[in-house]
Amino acid sequence: MKKVRPKTLKWLKGLHIFFSSAWIGAVLSMLAIVFLRPDSTVSGELYAFHATMKLIDDAVIIAAALGCFISGALLSWMTPWGFFRYYWLAVKFFVTIALILSGTIWLGPWVNTMTTITREQGLLALQNDQYLFYRQMHTIFGTLQACLVIAMAFLSTLKPWGKRAGAMS
């Protein structure tokens, strides 16, 4: 563990809160698009929904998730909290990695593919089995991701479960 000055610690915490807020806001914005979009009757409108989700994913979610991971890792490394000393920190660490990986492997590519399909096929995308499958999977797992990102914010605030057995003081 490195020793960190109080002012540096405040900056790291502030960055972590900023990136967390951006991540939560972005996933909620994507969910708003998914759940509040009207049934599209214009192909450009359907494409616009997906292009907007792609923009939010590429411009905000990726940077915010990586910012959370890096700032959280620095906070763990540079403070007595450590990476695995407390159950709630270990859970946040593993959930963050799982969310970044699932976003990279599935959610992001689903959004990219849906955007491409709606750009190329317009309303015919609504009859495309691949599009419909990705849309359903993105709705389910995007909702799960949003719930987990919000739960991690509460873990940071509530700090449940205490210190792990055998964790050094």
Q: For 50-61, what is each residue's pLDDT tens digit?
A: 999 999 999 999
Flag whether pLDDT at 5 surpasses 90. no
Q: Which domain holds residue 134?
A: 6-158
Q: What is the distance, to the nearest Å, from the Cα of residue 41 to the centroid of all Cα atoms in its chain? A: 30
For residue 169, name the pLDDT band (cuts at 50, 70, 90). Answer: very low
DSSP 167: -
Any domain includes 166? no
Q: How far is the C-alpha of 154 from the C-alpha of 140, rounded, in Å?
A: 22
Any domain includes 1? no
The count of domains in the chain is: 1
Any domain includes 73? yes
Give the residue ranges of DSSP H helices in the chain: 6-36, 43-56, 62-78, 87-102, 108-121, 129-158
pLDDT at 37: 76
Any domain includes 16? yes
Long-range contacts of residues 126-135, Cβ cutoff 8 Å, at least 24 apart: 126/40, 126/46, 134/110
% the chain with pLDDT above 70: 96
Any domain includes 100? yes
What global pTM score does this model have? 0.91
- How confident is the model over 73-85, as pLDDT tens digits? 999 998 888 888 9
Any domain includes 163? no
pLDDT at 106: 98
Q: What is the mean pLDDT of residues 116-123?
A: 96
Any domain includes 169? no
